Amino acid sequence: MALVTGSIPPLPPDPLQLRRRLALQGGGFALLLLAAFSGSLYWGIASQRQEDQRTELRQLAGSAAAQLPLIAHETREAEGSAKFRAGPRLIDSPALQQQRLQWFDARGTLLSEQGGLAVPSLPGLPRGALASARGISVPSQALWQRWPGGMSLWQPVDSQDERLGYVRVALSDQAARADLTRLKRGLLLGGVVTVLAALLVGRRMLRMAFLPLQRQVSALQRFTADASHELRHPLTALRTQLAAVPPELRRQPALAWRELDGLSRRMGELLDDLLLLARQEQAGQEGPLAMAELQEFDLLELLEDLLRCYAPQAGVRSVRLELSPDPATHCVPFRGQSEPLLRLFTNLLLNAIRHSPEGGTVSLQVSRASRLIRVTVADQGPGIAPQDREQVFERFWRGTDRGGHSGLGLAIGRAIARRHGGELRLGESREGRCELVVELPAMDAP
C-alpha cells in the first residue's frame, strides 16, 4: 500500500483522546513531583533525627568520660582487701530504660554500667567482659554502631600522658522510628489525597478548556453529516437526469456524458462515506454499543461470504483470496453489528486487492485468544513508508498508483472498530507484505 498526502491537509488529533493523554501526562507528572518531594522530605527529616541522636550520644559520652576517673577509683577501692566486690554493678531504673552507659578501663575491662537498653557486643570486646579477661583487643578510636533498636558510641578517654579507659553510650531509636513511621503514613495519605484532588481538579479544568474545541468538532461533524445528507438529493436528481439522456446524445463527441456520469457516481460514494464516518464518530462519542443494538453472528461466516462476493473482482487481476482461520477454530461467535463490520472488512479487502500486484495473494488470517479476536488482512503490495504509519488512518489519504476511491476507507474502518470496543492498526509493513490488523473483544462464554 503506497500512500501519499491528498489535497486536504491531515486533521488535528481527536480532542477527546488528546484530553485523556494530557490528563494522564499531567497526573503522572504531578505524581512524580509529589514522590520526589515526599522522598526528599522524609530523607531530610530522617537524616536530621539521626544527626540529633548522634549529638545526644556525644553529649552523653562527654558526661560519661568525665565520670570515668571517679568510677575507676571506686572500683580499685572495692577490689582492695578491705572490701569485697564480685563484679561490675549494673545500676538500672525506669528512667534509664532507653539508654545504656558503660565504663571500661584501659585494658577493656568493664568497670560499671547503668541503663536497661540491650546492646550488642562490640568487635573485639565480648559483652560483659570481666577483669579476668586480660589482653582483649578493643577499638582504639571512636566507633559508631547501629543496630535494629538503637545506636551506640564507643569512645576512648585519654589524659595528657596516658589512656584512662573507654566509655560506651547507647540510645534507643524507638521514638525516632515511631515518628518516622507516622511521617511516612502521613506523607502516603497526603500523597493519595493530593493526587486524587489534582486529578479531579485537572479533569475539570481540562474539560472546561476543551469544551469550546469539543463544541467546534461536534458542530463540524454535524455539518459534515447534514451537508452529506442534503447534497445527496440534488446529486441523485443530477444522476437521474444524466440517466435519462437519449442514447443519440450520448454518442456526440462534444458532450462528455460518460465523464459526467463517472464524476457524479464518485461524488455520491464520497458523500456516503462522509455521512457514514460522521455517524460513526458521533456514535463513538456517545459511548459503547448498547445491548439492544448487538446481535450475535459468526464472524468467520461473514468473512467467508465476503471473499465469495469479491472473488470475481479479484480474479480480474488474477489476485487470489485466502481465508486462514486458526486450525482449532470452526466458528468465531461475535456479538456486535454485522453491517458496520461488513463495511469495515470490505474496505480492508478492497484496499488490499487494489494495492496487490497482478497474480498476488490477499490473505485473511483469523486467530482467537481468551479475550481477543484478531483478523489480519495482508497483501503483497509495496508496503507503507515508516513516516506514514500513523497518517494512513487520516482522512483523504490515497494510493498513488490507483485512484477511484475516496481515501476514507481506513478512517471509517477505525471508527467502526473502536465503536465495537476494538482497534484497527497497522501491522507488519515492508516491500512485498503489508498487514492491517483488526482486534475485537471476544464474546464472553455463556
Q: What is the dihedral of CA 71, 73, 76, 81, to 10 degrees?
A: -120
What does the pLDDT read at residue 421? 84
Question: Sign of the C-alpha dihedral, residues 302, 307, 309, 313?
Answer: positive
Q: Give the integer Cα–Cα distance in Å for 333 and 444.
A: 10
CA distances from 100 to 61, 97, 106, 136 (A): 11, 8, 20, 21
212-221: list long-range contacts, CB under 8 Å, 24+ apart: 213/15, 214/15, 214/16, 217/15, 218/282, 218/285, 221/278, 221/281, 221/282
Cell numbers placing 213: 474545541
DSSP category for residue 122: B
The confidence score (pLDDT) of residue 176 equals 86
**How high is the pLDDT of residue 375?**
92
Q: How far is CA 77 from the centre of its chain?
A: 75
Mean pLDDT by 10 residues, the chain (446 residues): 37 59 77 86 89 90 89 73 50 69 86 85 57 54 87 88 89 87 89 82 76 66 60 66 68 60 66 66 59 81 91 90 78 86 89 88 87 90 77 65 61 83 86 88 65
Give the CA angle between residues 353, 357, 359 to the nearest 5°.
Answer: 95
Model pLDDT, residue 345: 92
Please give the pLDDT value at position 220. Answer: 62
Q: What is d(CA 390, CA 426) in angstroms, rounded to the nearest whole number? A: 8
Q: Which amino acid is at 80?
A: G
- Per-residue model confidence (pLDDT) at position 167: 92
Domains, the chain, ordered by start: 8-115+143-172 (no CATH), 291-446 (3.30.565.10)
374, 390 Cβ separation under 8 angstroms: no
Q: Give pLDDT, residue 170.
A: 92
Looking at residue 252, what is its pLDDT? 62
What pLDDT, on a 0 to 100 scale, did the predictor assign at position 307? 92
The pLDDT of residue 445: 45
pTM: 0.47
